[in-house]
Structure 1
Amino acid sequence: MKTKFLFALILLSVFFSCEKGAKLTKDSKETVVTGTTTILVDETIFPIVEDVVAVFENEYKNARIKLISKPEGEIISLLKEDKAKIAILPRNLNDEELDYYTKKKIIPRITEFAEDAVVFITNKENNLPSLNKDDLASKLKGKSSVLNQRIVFENPNSSIINFVKNEFNLDQLDSNLVYSMNNSKELIKFIADNKDAVGVIGVNWLLQPSVDIEREVQNVKIIGFTSSLQNGNQNVVFPNQSNIADHSYPWTRKLYLLNFQGANGLGMGFASYIAGENGQRIILKSGLSPKKVPSREINVKGSIE
């Protein structure tokens, strides 16, 4: 009899525990470290964001972030249509965009967290030694240029196209000389298979290539840019971490997380993480330039062994 009574108590306990657990799951709300959310990411910087999210979710087991890779133009449109609340872009909002949200009484929380580089790549067998801005500008404007290679971008709506146009104050690029693929992976594969083209891409795709394009990345090389020294000589600058940080490499971009949630949700938590100590360490290890250089701990021994 006692055994049956005890068994009944256990069943009741399990029942109420399950009911309570179900209620907690149903009523639980998104916080800065729990819940689920979606973040739109500019495709040119997707690898670094994917890395940070993987570590973030590993540290905060009840947080789930879905990343969607899209071109910059599509992301801005989705934000304006209120179909997305969080985005990561390689630029800040411009005055027109900020004014749009101000009129709607929306104040986005904007977090700068890193700086990357736009790089120019070619096939390893291409003997192009370096580039300079004047030759590249002439090529993009459709004027005579010593640069006879095709210029290829990864997407017609790419943030990199807008970046290059702004750099040279161009309203449009010469469509007879400039081409585009569908995404960053296609661009890398195209350059790996063609010796007469120059691709324009975010450096992060070369520093952290996905498994399916590792072979192709091995068959491309980054082209340096010439810069004039004080003594009149020419120096070729490549997009390594220090040159990105001090801007001696001429094609750098700041990276931002834009949060339109209007509440302290998971977007705010991830923004704090990617701009904080752990997130900045991940960015530093990736080869990009973090907004803040993480501190280093030095252990000093009391005596020499």
Structure 2
Amino acid sequence: MKRTALFLPLLAFFFVSCSTNPKQETKTSGTTTILADESFAPIVDDQLFVFESTYPRADIRLVYKAENMLVNALVADSAKVAIMSRLLSPQEAAVFEKKNIKVRKTRFAIDAVALIASKSSADSTISVQEIIDIMQGKEASRRLVFDNPNSSTVRYLKDLAKISKLPSKGVYALKTNSEVIKFVHNNSGVIGVIGINWYKQPGKELEPLIEGLRVLGVKNLPGKPGSDKFYKPSQDNLAMELYPLSRDLYIIDCQGGAGLGSGFASFLAGETGQRIVLKSGLLPDSIPPREVFIK
């Protein structure tokens, strides 16, 4: 009888220990890796900091990559969750369909591809047609500098110009958004192409350089919204669809079930995540409600 009395508490402790296993992944606990487009590092870092502060048992390892490398790693099953500015193509999605994995997508923000120049440069505006001409190799008087040849910003403007490869003149690619900011700061007469979040939240190292830069106003093609004048990538202009170079931000979850990926996606789309987006200068997918207290 005494042995039974001792055994029952031990058995109960065993089951409690198993059910609270810290290694077991849930929506708010466990360990996982999330790939993210380097173009969105400032906003993603902010979101992760608040998420892990709210849920201390969550351990997310962020790996930043250029878009092409990110998608290749996702399809190759190196990671199951990614943050990027496009959806999977039908061919890419088919890889997961064959494994009976449902791909979940959550849009959480609208970003802008920003064009920056030194304040000492004569450049303050540019039209979409001029951008297309440069991308097609027709215009060499203005030079574009990208973050990475495999980046989402390069892909975005290649799609805009309807080209499959970059021209041999007028376009240059470095490695990161921070390198673009440094290069434009030190070289008057070039136009940098970055995610607007890097300009809005540059980090302490880049803050002094940002002060010497300006964001160019962009005019759209005739007959399209934003073709009446030059618009800058403000939240209002993104909301009114007047800034021509906007793109959606998604978290793509290929886990096939509940886990930290789906938990982080819910957080990004929830009120706290949307307030972080709003504060960052990007446009939230849904504008958080504003509370007014009247005494």
The TM-score with structure 2 as length reference comes to 0.89
The one of 259, 273, 287 aligned to 2:253: 259
The equivalent residue for 1:240 is 234
Does 1:169 find its partner at 2:162? yes
Which aligned runs of 4 or more in structure 1 are off by greater than 6 angstroms?
A: 18-25
Q: How does 1:281-292 map to 2 (within 5 A)?
A: 281-292=275-286
Alpha-carbon distance between aligned partners in 2 of 1:135 and 1:261, rounded to the nearest angstrom: 42
Does 1:119 find its partner at 2:114? yes
Q: How does 1:201-240 map to 2 (within 5 A)?
A: 201-227=194-220, 234-240=228-234
- Letter of the structure 1 residue corresponding to residue 91 of structure 2: E
Cα distance, 1:236 vs. partner? 1.6
The equivalent residue for 1:277 is 271
Alpha-carbon distance between aligned partners in 1 of 2:133 and 2:159, rounded to the nearest angstrom: 15
Q: What does the per-residue CA deviation read over 1:35-92, in whole Å, with 9 as the maximum and x for residues that have no partner?
A: 1211111001111011011011111111121111110001111011111111000111
Inter-CA distance 59–142: structure 2 relative to 1 (3 Å threshold): same
Q: How does 1:159-198 map to 2 (within 5 A)?
A: 159-198=152-191
The alignment partner of 2:165 has SS state of coil
Alpha-carbon distance between aligned partners in 2 of 1:229 and 1:254, rounded to the nearest angstrom: 22
User: For the pair shown, which has the larger CA radius of gyration, 1 or 2?
Assistant: 1
Inter-CA distance 123–26: structure 2 relative to 1 (3 Å threshold): same
Q: How does 1:102-141 map to 2 (within 5 A)?
A: 102-141=97-136
Does 1:299 find its partner at 2:289? no
- Letter of the structure 1 residue corresponding to residue 275 of structure 2: R
**Contact 2:135 2:157 survives alignment (8 Å):** no
**Contact 2:96 2:254 survives alignment (8 Å):** no
The one of 114, 139, 146 aligned to 1:153: 146
Alpha-carbon distance between aligned partners in 1 of 2:185 and 2:202, rounded to the nearest angstrom: 14
Alpha-carbon distance between aligned partners in 1 of 2:121 and 2:272, rounded to the nearest angstrom: 40
The one of 31, 34, 37 aligned to 2:32: 37
Inter-CA distance 265–254: structure 2 relative to 1 (3 Å threshold): same
Cα distance, 1:100 vs. partner? 3.4
Alpha-carbon distance between aligned partners in 1 of 2:156 and 2:223, rounded to the nearest angstrom: 26
**Contact 2:124 2:215 survives alignment (8 Å):** no
The equivalent residue for 2:4 is none
Query: Runs of 5+ in structure 1 lacking a partner?
Result: 1-17
The one of 228, 238, 249 aligned to 2:243: 249
**Contact 2:132 2:160 survives alignment (8 Å):** no
Query: Runs of 5+ in structure 2 lacking a partner?
Result: 1-12
Alpha-carbon distance between aligned partners in 2 of 1:262 and 1:70, rounded to the nearest angstrom: 23
Does 1:79 find its partner at 2:63? no
Cα distance, 1:247 vs. partner? 1.3
Alpha-carbon distance between aligned partners in 1 of 2:95 and 2:26, rounded to the nearest angstrom: 28
- Letter of the structure 2 residue corresponding to residue 42 of structure 1: D
The equivalent residue for 2:5 is none
Alpha-carbon distance between aligned partners in 1 of 2:114 and 2:172, rounded to the nearest angstrom: 16
**Contact 2:136 2:161 survives alignment (8 Å):** no
The alignment partner of 1:254 has SS state of strand
Alpha-carbon distance between aligned partners in 1 of 2:51 and 2:106, rounded to the nearest angstrom: 17
**Contact 1:122 1:220 survives alignment (8 Å):** yes
The alignment partner of 2:126 has SS state of coil
**Contact 1:229 1:235 survives alignment (8 Å):** no
Q: What does the per-residue CA deviation read over 1:116-162, in whole Å, with 9 as the maximum and x for residues that have no partner?
A: 0001111110011310111221122111x3x6122110101111111
**Contact 2:84 2:250 survives alignment (8 Å):** yes
Alpha-carbon distance between aligned partners in 1 of 2:204 and 2:22, rounded to the nearest angstrom: 40
The one of 60, 64, 69 aligned to 2:59: 64
The TM-score with structure 1 as length reference comes to 0.86
**Contact 1:121 1:199 survives alignment (8 Å):** yes
Alpha-carbon distance between aligned partners in 2 of 1:175 and 1:40, rounded to the nearest angstrom: 31
The alignment partner of 1:55 has SS state of helix
Superposition RMSD in Å:
2.5
